[in-house]
Amino acid sequence: MERYYQPEIECASQDQIKTWQSERLIATVKRVYENVPYYRKKMEEKGVTPDDIKSVEDLHKLPFLTKDDLRDAYPYGLVAAPLKDCVRIQSTSGTTGRRVVAFYTQHDIDLWDDCCARAIVAAGGTEEDVVHVSYGYGLFTGGPGLNGGSHKVGSLTLPMSSGNTERQIQFMCDLGSTILCCTPSYAAYLAESIHERGLQDQIKLKAGIFGAEAWTQEMRRDIEQKLGIKAYDIYGLTEISGPGVSFECSEQTGMHINEDHFIAEIINPITGEVLPDGEKGELVFTSITKEAFPLIRYRTRDICVLSHKKCSCGRTHVKMSKPMGRSDDMLIIKGVNVFPSQIEAVLLNKGYAANYQIYVDRVNNSDTLEVRVEMTPELFSDTVTEVAAKEKELVDALKAMLGIYAKVKLVAPKSITRSEGKAVRIIDNRKLY
């Protein structure tokens, strides 16, 4: 029997959802226009005023917001509530350029926790559960988000944070953790470590809530099988609150977007045109209940598809597919678009684990692509001819998937550094030129 955290919202009719969205959008636009000079200027440049926004159907009239806007307005330029009402910030890992800082009032945190609680209940969580949170705590939203959600559900919450794998496994065994929350790459690493120690029988996990980075269906099956759990996807981004913007239900065919808080659109990333349901494009979010940091038409750069198909779980909120890559992470190699997820699917299909790195370089003005992947103990081989044959097999499979040549290098088990948070998979040395 499917359980919901807020059934009256999660299973509301489409008409009801549209009504909420229209009312909240109108109020949000009015508030930012009046209180945030940066928004007012952007709207004036596009020739729109709050009076032009009469329902959710008018959303397309509003200007987009990008990460560059967030950087321009850093740190306080987009804050829409008095600072005395803000109680928290969170921030992105900020590998490139300035960090993005998001602000929260207590009310914002409360609603964010609700979103994460919906995800935990959808993964079967109840107050009887022991929720083991191994997302990072601190500026990253993963730990605080799932922590807050777990409290709301009333589960016993283990604020483990990431790292110290030995201690993670010990707590998991001793305290009987039943739901694991972490990045899929860390889940894979924990699964590997549990097997190495022969502790599978002492693990009581039943479900995992994994997100913050792209992962394939092949990786899902691998983790599910190794840990004996059902693995649920969860999506979110700091700018829009953090984890819990959308989450998977028992059907595992996409993530329900919490539409009472966030309006989703799919656009053509080049023209900005809004695309119909079922078409692939860039995901854009408008947050309609945030007090401190409401973002209007924020371009996520994540490429995915929306679907309004009826879901067997009973939830009515629109579903997004797993992001198929990011428009800015997409590698263009010799003019061909390559998504790391395509490479991962090939590797896992051929029996390798998701321990790989993709090296891109430019040699003699021509792009090169090299995939380094660890041999698994089962596939391990130390004869040169066997290794060469296995590499050739992968080269052919990658060529069939990507349409271009990728050099493949099989490396020793455990030689690729394990990640405790988001995995670093792409090393693009062309950026140095």
Kindly list the residues in this chain that would bind ligand DLL in the complex (CB under 6 A): 92-93, 135, 141-142, 211-214, 233-238, 242-243, 300, 302, 322-323, 326
HSE of 422, CA atoms in CB hemisphere, 13 A: 14
The secondary element (H helix, E strand) that includes residue 21 is helix 14-35
Q: Which is nearer to ligand DLL, 304 or 397 (CB)?
A: 304
Q: What is the nearest approach in angstroms of ligand DLL to the Cβ of residue 329?
A: 7
Q: In what order do the strands lie in the sheet with 262-267?
A: 262-267, 281-287, 298-304
Q: Which is nearer to ligand DLL, 182 or 408 (CB)?
A: 182
Q: What length does the chain have?
A: 433
Q: What is the nearest approach in angstroms of ligand DLL to the Cβ of residue 71?
A: 14
Q: What is the nearest approach in angstroms of ligand DLL to the Cβ of residue 137?
A: 11
Q: What is the nearest approach in angstroms of ligand DLL to the Cβ of residue 92?
A: 4
* Strand, coil or helix: 428: strand
In order, the DSSP letters of 367-381 are EEEEEEEEPPTTT--
Q: What is the nearest approach in angstroms of ligand DLL to the Cβ of residue 148?
A: 12
* Opening angle at CA 321, ends 317 and 326, nearest 5: 125
* Strand, coil or helix: 242: strand
Q: What is the nearest approach in angstroms of ligand DLL to the Cβ of residue 61?
A: 25
Q: What is the nearest approach in angstroms of ligand DLL to the Cβ of residue 30?
A: 28
In angstroms, rounded to a whole number, what is the distance separating the alpha carbons of residues 255 and 75?
31
Q: Which is nearer to ligand DLL, 187 or 408 (CB)?
A: 187
Q: Which is nearer to ligand DLL, 43 or 142 (CB)?
A: 142
Q: For residue 224, give every residue at least 6 positions away whose Cβ sits within 8 Å of its Cβ, in sequence order, or none.
A: 230, 231
SS3 content of the chain, % helix, strand, coil (to 5): 35, 25, 40
Q: Which is nearer to ligand DLL, 49 or 93 (CB)?
A: 93
Q: What is the nearest approach in angstroms of ligand DLL to the Cβ of residue 181?
A: 8
Q: Which is nearer to ligand DLL, 22 or 157 (CB)?
A: 157
411: amino acid identity, one letter:
V
Tell me the residue nearest to ligand DLL as measured from the CB: 211
In angstroms, rounded to a whole number, what is the distance separating the alpha carbons of residues 262 and 287?
5
Q: Which is nearer to ligand DLL, 26 or 70 (CB)?
A: 70
DSSP structural state of residue 93: -
Q: Which is nearer to ligand DLL, 133 or 371 (CB)?
A: 133
C-beta of residue 245 within 8 angstroms of C-beta of residue 259: no
Q: What is the nearest approach in angstroms of ligand DLL to the Cβ of residue 386?
A: 35
Q: Which is nearer to ligand DLL, 71 or 414 (CB)?
A: 71
HSE of 244, CA atoms in CB hemisphere, 13 A: 31
DSSP structural state of residue 427: E
Residue 403: is it exposed, middle or buried by C-beta count within 10 angstroms (0-12/13-18/19+)? exposed
Distance from CA of residue 30 to its chain's centroid? Answer: 30
